[in-house]
A and B are shown apart, each in its own frame.
Chain A
Amino acid sequence: MITQGTAPALKHTAQNGAAEAIHVENLHKRFGELHVLKGVSLSARDGEVIAIIGGSGSGKSTLLRCINCLENPTSGIVRVNGEEIRMKADSHGHTVPADRRQIERIRSKLGMVFQNFNLWSHMTLIENVIEVPVHVLGVKRETAIAGAEKLLARVGLAEKRDVYPAYLSGGQQQRAAIARALAINPRVMLFDEPTSALDPELIGEVLKVIGDLAREGRTMVLVTHEMKFAREVATHVVYLYNGLVEEEGPPEQIFGAPRSERLKQFLRNVG
C-alpha cells in the first residue's frame, strides 16, 4: 500500500519499509444475525493516510471501531503498534478482550475523533485536552497545560481555552476534539466522518486542520464522505461495499480509473 511517483508534490508519501502501525486481517463482525464485516483486511504504515469510503451501512464505522475495540470483532486479527489484541470467548460465546489493560494501553495510542465531537461537556476546552494526558498517561499537570495551550493555538482556539464546549460552534468543537486527540501524541489518528455533523460553512476549517496533519506525515485512518478531500490527502483509499473491500488503491486509481462497477456507481452518486 505504497504510493509512488504519482502522488502530488505536497502529499506525504510513506516510505517503503515504514513500520506497520495498524494491521487488520480477515476481520469479521456480527451484530446478532447481522453480518456487518465479512473478512476485511487493512494496513496502515507510519506516515500513511488511509481513507475509507463507501455507502451508508457498508461497515466503515464498525471497521474503525473494531480497531480500538469500541466494538469487539467477532473474529480476525487486529494489530496496533505491532501488538495483537488478544480476544477470548465469554460465557455467552461472545468474543471479548482477554486483557482490559492491554486494550487501555492500545487505546491510549489511538487518537479517535468522532462525528459528534463528544467533548466532555462539564470541562472547559483546556480541561478536555489535558484530561487524558494527566489522568491516563500520568503527565504532570503543568506540562500537560503547556502542551494543550500549544495544541489549541494550533487549531485556532487559543483564546477559547476556558470556554465550555456547549458555547462553541460545531467546527470549533471538532477542532478542539482534534486537539484532544493530538494531546496523547497518538501513533495513529482515527477519524469517523469528522465533518458529517457540521454545517457546510464550517466543514472547511476542520478539513484544513486535518489536511495539515496529513501533510506533516501523521498516520491516520479516515472515514469520510468528502471525496475531494480524500483524493487530496489520502495515500491509499479503501472502498467498502457491504462489509467487504470492493476495491482499494492509490487515490489516483480509485477516483481517476475505478475498475469495479459498484465503485463507479458510488462515485457517480456522491458527485
Chain B
Amino acid sequence: MIGVGGAYGKLYGGPVVRDLLEVYTTVVRAVPELVLILLLYFAGTDLINQLLTALGHAAIDINGVVAGIGVLGVVQGAYSTEVLRGAILGIPQGQIEAARAYGMPPGLLLRRITLPAMLPFAIPGLANLWLIATKDTALLAIVGVNELTQTTRTAAGATKAYFTFFMAAGALYLVLTLVSNVVIGRIERWARRGMPSIAGAH
C-alpha cells in the first residue's frame, strides 16, 4: 500500500510530494535495516508517547509486534515504491492514454488499468521483497518480538542441542520460501495471462 502510494506520488505528484518521497526512499534504503529498526522503534515509540501526552492522553506501552510490523512496513514501502515505479513505467504508455481518451477518472484508471497492467512487471521485484521480509523478521528480535531465530536460540541454549534446533529453524525458513515461491508462481502466471510466454509455448 505504501509502495503504490509512493510510486504514484513519485510519478504523478507535484514537486513537493516528489521531493518528500525521494527523501523517504533514499534515506530508508541508505540506512541499514537494523539501525532503522532500532531508530524507528525507540525514537518512534517515544515520539508517539510524547504526542499522546501532549494531547492529554496517557502514554502507552507499544507492543513489540505492532512496532515491528510497522517498521518492516515502512522499510518495505520504500523498496516497493521503487519496484512499482519501475513497473508502472514498464506499461505501454498507449494503454494509459486509451483509458484517458475514453473518459476514465484517475481512481478508476489506477484500479482498472494501471495496477493490473503493471503487475507482471512488478511481481518478480515484489516477490524478492517478500522473501527478504520473511527473513527480516529475525532482526525484529531486537525489539522483543518472539520470532523464529530468537526462539530457536533460546530453545537451543536451554537444551544445548544447537545443531538440531538451528537445522529445524533453517528448514522452517526454507519451507516458508518454497511455499511462497509456489504461491508467487501462481500469481505471476495469472498476472501475465495476457502475455504470450517468451518461449512461444502456449
Contacts and interface: CB of A to CB of B under 8 A. Distances in A.
B17 to A, nearest CB: 15
A123 B194 contact: yes
Given A164-B194, A166-B196, A118 B103 contact: no
A184 B202 CA distance: 33
Interface string A206-218: 0000000000000
Interface in B82-141: 92, 94-95, 97-105, 108, 112-113, 116-117, 119-120
A104 interface: yes
Contacts of B116: 122
A107 B98 contact: no
Interface stretch (A5-13, A32-40, A52-60, A131-139): A131-139
Interface residues of A, number: 31
A110 B92 CA distance: 22
B105 A100 contact: yes
Contacts of A73: none
A122 B94 contact: no
Given A120-B113, A122-B117, A166-B194, A136 B98 contact: no
A121 B117 contact: yes
A103 B103 CA distance: 7
Interface of B: 92, 94-95, 97-105, 108, 112-113, 116-117, 119-120, 191, 193-196, 202
- 5 closest A-B pairs by CB: A108-B103, A107-B103, A118-B94, A164-B194, A118-B98
Interface of A: 68, 70, 100-101, 103-108, 110, 112, 114, 116-124, 131-132, 135-136, 164-167, 184
